[in-house]
């Protein structure tokens, strides 16, 4: 009889210990969940702020500005590709959370997504000009670093030369400074517009060396990687290219 009671007490104690362990585990789980809730609340606060910032950006850009954006980018496209039918369309869509915008391109009666319908060259130009618009809208520093930013723009037919004209115009008329890097000697049109051209020289067993070269060397030699700079409004530097007669990036920029 006493042994049976002892066994029951032993089982009771074992069960009590298991319950105590379970309670401790649940307490730790509650602590982790409370910490997770605090983190989620913090994330929610940041997300609300981010959404507010995005909405504000959309409002700043879109308020009385869609037609201006279309005008600026359309002017750049027509200048670079020498085609008066090219243009940008900013299509506004209303949703449950507010307005959204889709960028489309047109040429005559053809309207479509830029990359799918018109290829990489126009996308390079549209992307670049939209960056300029954001810089102007939010009053950021007028400096842009570009790495192979125009590698899809056709090298035949004068497209790159007209791109250089556009870049030169932006620097001279709107005070931008551009730092552009390229591997391509074929981008001579861009290099010819630069105020300063630098080349990375690489020799076996030695660290790369950056040296200033003249535009002619940059266009004719076949080794290394070039960087070139187009500073705005600096009369001490080499003279700019002549302005393009038709179209412009737009004085509204």
- Considering the chain, what is the average pLDDT of its residues? 78
Return the residue matching tokens 């861009």.
190
For the stretch 92-101, pLDDT in tens is: 777 777 777 7
| 109-118, 129-138, 170-179, 184-193: range with lowest mean pLDDT | 184-193
pTM recorded for the entire structure: 0.64
Q: Where are the alpha helices (DSSP H) in the chain?
A: 2-62, 66-81, 114-118, 120-137, 159-174, 188-191, 215-220
- What local confidence, expressed as pLDDT, does residue 86 receive? 92
For the stretch 50-91, pLDDT in tens is: 766 666 665 665 655 788 888 888 999 999 999 999 999 888
* CATH 3.40.50.261 is held by the domain 64-230: no
SS3 86: strand
DSSP conformation class of 221 = -
pLDDT at residue 215 is higher than 80: no
Choose between 214 and 34: higher pLDDT: 34
Q: What does the domain layout of the chain look like in residue ranges?
A: 1-63, 64-230
Output the CA–CA distances (angstroms, integers) from residue 95 to 11, 63, 91, 104, in the order listed.
64, 17, 13, 19
Which token pair is 3? 């042994």
**Residue 69, Cβ density class (10 Å: 0-12 exposed, 13-18 middle, ≥19 buried):** buried
- What local confidence, expressed as pLDDT, does residue 212 receive? 84
pLDDT at residue 194 is higher than 60: yes
pLDDT at residue 244 is higher than 80: no
pLDDT at residue 220 is higher than 80: no
Which residues are CB-contacts of 112 (< 8 A; sequence separation ≥ 6)?
104, 105, 118
What's the whole-number mean pLDDT along residues 34-50?
A: 84
Choose between 215 and 120: higher pLDDT: 120
pLDDT band for position 112 (cuts 50, 70, 90): very high
pLDDT at residue 221 is higher than 80: no
Choose between 214 and 146: higher pLDDT: 146
- What local confidence, expressed as pLDDT, does residue 187 receive? 58
Choose between 238 and 204: higher pLDDT: 204
């Amino acid at each position: 009889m006493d042994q049976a009671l002892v066994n029951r007490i032993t089982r009771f104690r074992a069960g009590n210990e298991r319950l105590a362990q379970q309670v401790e585990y649940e307490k730790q789980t509650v602590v982790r969940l409370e910490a997770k809730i605090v983190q989620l609340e913090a994330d929610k606060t940041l997300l609300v702020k981010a959404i507010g910032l995005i909405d504000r950006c959309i409002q700043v850009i879109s308020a009385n500005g869609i037609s201006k954006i279309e005008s600026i980018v359309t002017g750049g496209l027509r200048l670079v590709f020498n085609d008066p039918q090219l243009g940008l369309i900013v299509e506004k869509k209303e949703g449950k959370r507010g307005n959204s915008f889709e960028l489309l391109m047109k040429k005559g009666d053809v309207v479509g997504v830029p990359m799918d319908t018109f290829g990489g060259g126009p996308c390079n130009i549209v992307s670049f000009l939209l960056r300029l618009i954001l810089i102007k809208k939010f009053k950021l520093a007028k400096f842009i670093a570009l790495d192979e930013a125009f590698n899809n723009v056709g090298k035949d037919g004068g497209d790159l030369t007209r791109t250089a004209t556009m870049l030169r115009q932006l620097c001279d008329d709107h005070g931008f400074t551009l730092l552009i890097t390229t591997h391509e000697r074929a981008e001579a049109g861009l290099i010819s517009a630069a105020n300063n051209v630098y080349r990375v020289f690489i020799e076996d067993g030695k660290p790369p060396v950056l040296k200033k070269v003249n535009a002619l060397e940059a266009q004719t030699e076949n080794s290394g990687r070039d960087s070139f700079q187009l500073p705005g409004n600096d009369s001490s530097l080499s003279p700019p290219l002549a302005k393009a007669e038709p179209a412009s990036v737009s004085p509204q920029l």
